[in-house]
Amino acid sequence: MSIAKMSFLQILVGALLVFLVSGLPAGNSSSNATVISSTPGLVLLFTASINLANFSPPIPIPAGQRIVAAVDNGKLSGNALSGNIQGGVSVIDILEGGQAIVINVRSYGLTSDGVPFLVDESGIGTSADGFSRL
């Protein structure tokens, strides 16, 4: 995979964080039992996009190659959280000729109300789809 095709990685790294909504706790005064009173679901909290820069030359690793890139900047936007990504680092493993792509990103910045944050993200995917965990 050439560096020119890395825009997919920027999209994959642009994480969608979802939060598992649990039910409301219910109990009585004689026990600490919790009862789930609603069906779990997914709620979109925010989206993130990052811009990568200063890509390393490909580093040979078993079954593929590794590319390290700086997180230049980015943006968080959503109802639950918004802010600016100020920097970080991304390690991208391209395995089996692009059949699998593994991404690990650590980025930092400030929320719109001035609170600093640090995010670790890891994901795996292909050029068509992928999964990510924050």
pLDDT tens profile 56-65: 999 999 999 9
Q: Is the pTM of this model over 0.85?
A: no
102-124 pLDDT, tens digit each? 999 999 999 999 999 998 999 99
Q: Is the pLDDT of residue 72 over 80?
A: yes
Mean pLDDT of the region 32-56: 80
Q: What is the pLDDT of residue 35?
A: 59
Ramachandran angles phi, psi of 111, nearest 5° = -70, 170
